[in-house]
Amino acid sequence: MGIITLDGSMGEGGGQVLRSALGLSLATGQSFVIERIRAGREKPGLKRQHLTAVLAAAEVGGASVEGAELGSQRLAFKPRTVRAGNYRFSIGTAGSTTLVLQTILPGLWAADGPSTVELQGGTHNPLAPSFDFLQRAFAPLMRRMGAELELLCPVAGFYPAGGGQLHAKVAPARWQTIELLQVPQRPIVHARIVLSRIPANVGDRELFTLRRALDLRADAVRIDEVQSPGPGNAVMVMLELGATTEVVTELGERNVTAETVAERAAQEAKDLLAANVPVGPHLADQLLLPMALAGGGAFRTVAPSLHTRTNAEVIERFLPVKFTLREDGGSWVVEVAPATDRA
């Protein structure tokens, strides 16, 4: 079995190439070398969050690693045997716990027994799936595909304080293919506003803005005060689209009004509803690897991003599958099938 060589500058040149490669390496036993890690970012190389993902994957897979240090732009990763166990990892910053978890999930699903994972860091981060997204959108689909995943968030973590906690229970997967092609008929919309050490009127203003923008009943929006080491605010709109649930997340920012945060979330939700597809752009990214591990599947989504296309390309380097992305009546269908089935 040869060593796979990857260029970390492909596509957006971000951390997804590295994370997908680590997860696929654990699931398949394939070694890889990646160069020019995060070359497309202002500060290339491994940041604390990426280094934690590398070290977590190495522990789960008993791997030998070269280049596992902050700022490194080259990494060689050689897995041995994936081990089920009780794992704890701390990012040490407000870096995303959800991205670290998703890195090691393919390996834990391939292990010989159940595992638990405790992660400390950020749980609601910009440019990363929120805990609520994993719990409400991603995990239910994984369970339908035969990959058990239970999630808890005892403590929320926001930038810059971090300190959040994410707990996961994972069991070996018995993969089943899935198709998510049906156009949603009667979407159900509700929302959750999360506050930590933020004035209550911020949540009230966000609630008012969401109700007006999305024409929601009073009981369709709730405000939760959560435990967290630092201040934070997140607005999450849940879209029940029949076979799937999508979660739109907007985070409060300094010098950005509560109304603007809620309006951004509402507009993204309206755009997704107008697209009339069961799978949004963020969930599309997350589904590629599990569907490839299952050996097939399809879903209807919006026009695939460069991020999605790059992820598909990385997956095809590790697994004998072929992705097809085609436009179909104003939306797009993404299919994955065994490579031998395709010309």
Catalytic residue numbers, as ranges: 307
**Residue 27: partners with Cβ closer than 8 Å, 6 or more residues away:** 82, 106, 107, 109, 110, 293, 318
Q: How far apart are CA 60 and CA 69, in angstroms?
A: 18
What token pair was written down for 147? 């990959």
Q: Which amino acid is at 255?
A: N
Q: How far apart are CA 20 and CA 286, in angstroms?
A: 10
Determine which helix (DSSP H) or strand (DSSP E) holds 264, and give its type and residue range: helix 258-275
What one-character DSSP code corresponds to residue 56?
A: H
Look up tokens 């029940």; give the residue. 240
> Hey, which residues does 122 pair with through a beta bridge?
96
Cis, peptide link before residue 172, omega less than 30° from 0: no
Please answer whether residues 16 and 53 qualify as being in contact, where contact means their C-beta atoms are separated by less than 8 angstroms: no
Phi then psi for residue 115, to 5 deg, are -135, 160
Q: How far apart are CA 230 and CA 250, in angstroms?
A: 17
Q: How far apart are CA 88 and CA 276, in angstroms?
A: 40
Cis, peptide link before residue 126, omega less than 30° from 0: no
What token pair was written down for 240? 């029940």
**Residue 43: partners with Cβ closer than 8 Å, 6 or more residues away:** none
